[in-house]
Amino acid sequence: MMKVVEKPTTIQDPHCEAPNLRKHEDKGLELLKYLILGVLFGIVFVKAEIISWFRIQEMFRLQSFHMYGVIGSAVVTGIISIQIIKRFNIKTIHGETINIPKKEFRKGQVIGGFIFGLGWALTGACPGPLFAQIGSGYTVVLVTLISALVGTWVYGKFSNKLPN
Amino acid sequence: MNDFINWLSQPWPWYVAGPMIGLTVPALLILGNKTFGISSSLRHVCAMCVPAGIPFFTYNWKKEMWNLLFVLGVLIGGFVATNFLANPDSIIVSEATQADLKALGVTDFGNLLPADIFSWENLFTAKGLLFFVIGGFLVGFGTRYAGGCTSGHAIMGISSLQWQSVLATVFFMIGGFLMTHVLLEPLMKLVGF
């Protein structure tokens, strides 16, 4: 039987902001654990009402502590976790050293951040909650998601013409 | 068991939800050296479906399949929580926020999202254009330009003590405050509230 020669895949993009730094490829069922983690994450989003447009309005109006508590305690948990990983040189379950990519300063963190903030207050959702809102039955948010994809694409198309 | 389901059905307080979200950071790192970031999934979808020869979308998106499965999981999680662990009571929105939003023309305070805005009837109206089309565009364009969203910058970036992410998060908040306190009222009037 003839072996299908695979086209060489394009190189890993060095600027991917949430990269997969694992050396061995995840295959098949190995990928299932990310789906399960996502399910748990989505449940938390709904149960803590983070996907609520009202909770985001309360946050920006400084009328409730809830969202500040959620994000603040998530950050504290994240900081402690990463310190523990570094201090005890904890490896991945496959024995790899854990890498955390360094972010470089770009003007986009200011301009793009500001633009996202405008959209966050309108939609009441950052990208994660968009998916959870759709799953919760607010199917019209599919339109918001498609618009977000268009926005991402337009950024990609013109990224080299924008100040960065 | 029923008590347990009842307990799960209540809205979860911030001090339960926040640490659980924070634990996603080490969970992804330990499971497979993955960096937490949700908005990247939007880029991977572009790379998968319409790369159009644009260098920004020409990379091996298959390697980032984990991220797409993660957001698919978030969608399924939303379905599970809403259909099996739903809070039987209405959401409790702070009195002050209700008063502010009533003044803007919002009338439905019984669900997670107000039906005045988030309904299919609004799709081909000025309301839909503002909240779905423009709002979504700003989220997609802004997060990619910023190189991350609340998960990649505010949670992952600050957790790994990177000042660039603090900066991005500050500007997320500035944009949100400006929209909420200055732009939202005239925009909502403009679209017919």
ipTM, 2 decimals?
0.96
Distance of alpha carbon B36 from alpha carbon B24, whole angstroms: 7
Question: What phi-psi label fits residue B87: left (phi over 0), alpha (psi between -120 and 50 degrees) or beta?
Answer: beta
Spatial contact of B97 and A54, defined as CB atoms under 8 Å apart: yes
Name the nearest CA neighbour of A20 among B70, B127, B94: B70
Instruction: Quick: pLDDT tens for B109-132.
Output: 999 999 999 999 999 999 999 999
Residues B97 and B154 in one domain: yes
pLDDT of residue A3: 46
B81 and B153: one domain? no
| Same domain? B7 vs B49 | yes
pLDDT given for residue A16 in this prediction: 77
Q: Tell me, yes or no, whether B21 and B109 share the same domain.
A: no
Q: Pick from B34, B60, B86: which residue ends a domain?
A: B86
User: Looking at B35, B56, B86, which one is the last position of a domain?
Assistant: B86
* A86 in reach of chain B (CB within 8 A): no
Report yes or no: A6 at the B interface, CB cutoff 8 Å. no
Q: Are residues B59 and B38 in the same domain?
A: yes
The predicted structure's pLDDT at residue A23: 73
* Gap between the Cα atoms of A133 and A150, Å rounded: 19
Write the burial class of residue A80 (CB in 10 Å: 0-12 exposed, 13-18 middle, 19+ buried).
Answer: middle
Task: Locate B185 and state its tokens.
Answer: 């009222």
pLDDT at B8: 84
Average pLDDT over residues A8-36: 74
Residues B103 and B151 in one domain: yes
Domain ranges across chain A: 12-101, 105-164
- Kindly state whether residues B51 and B113 are assigned to the same domain: no
pLDDT tens-digit readout, A141-151? 999 999 999 99
Does B166 touch chain A if contact means CB atoms closer than 8 Å?
no
d(CA A107, CA A17): 15
Answer for the pair A126, B143: CB distance below 8 angstroms, yes or no. Answer: yes
pLDDT score for A22: 78
Residues B69 and B103 in one domain: no
Q: In terms of domains, do B48 and B105 share one?
A: no
Q: Which residue has the tokens 């991945």?
A: A92
Mutate to test the interface with B, among A20, A56, A160, A162 (most CBs of B within 10 A): A20
Asked if A78 lies within 8 A of B28 by C-beta distance, the reply is no
Structurally, chain B folds into a number of domains equal to 2
Q: If you average pLDDT over residues A46-60, what whole number do you get?
A: 97
In order of A4, A56, B57, B119, the CA distances from B50 in angstroms are: 25, 32, 8, 28
Last residue of a domain, one of B53, B86, B119: B86
When pLDDT is averaged across residues A81-96 and rounded to a whole number, the result is 95
In the predicted model, is pLDDT for residue A5 greater than 50?
A: no
CA dist A88 and A110 (Å) reads: 35
CB neighbours (10 Å) of residue A126? Answer: 26
For residue range B54-92, list pLDDT tens digits in order. 999 999 999 999 999 999 999 999 999 999 998 888 899
Structure confidence at residue B2 as a pLDDT band (50, 70, 90): confident
Residues B147 and A103 sit within 8 Å (Cβ to Cβ): yes
Please check whether residues B48 and B118 belong to one and the same domain: no
Residues B6 and B97 in one domain: no
Selected residues 174-193 of chain B with any CB under 8 Å from a CB in chain A: 174-181, 183-184
Mean pLDDT, range B143-169, rounded to an integer: 96
pLDDT tens profile B166-180: 999 999 999 999 999
Instruction: Express each pLDDT in A107-139 by its tens digit.
Output: 999 999 999 999 999 999 999 999 999 999 999
Confidence of residue A74 (pLDDT cuts 50, 70, 90): very high
* Chain B interface mutation, best of A43, A61, A65, A130, highest count of B Cβ atoms under 10 Å: A43
Mean pLDDT of chain B: 95
- Partner-chain residue, chosen from B8, B63, B101, that has the shortest CB–CB distance to A57: B101
**Exposed, middle or buried by CB within 10 Å (0-12, 13-18, 19+), for A34?**
buried
Q: How many CB pairs under 8 A join A and B?
A: 551
The phi and psi torsions of A97 (rounded to 5 degrees) equal: -70, 140
Residues ≥6 apart with Cβ < 8 Å to B7: none
Q: Which of B100, B105, B121 is nearest to B192 (CA)?
A: B105
Whether B109 and B192 share a structural domain: yes
| Structure tokens belonging to residue A160 | 């080299």
Name the residue with tokens 């081909």: B124
Domain limits for position B20: 1-86
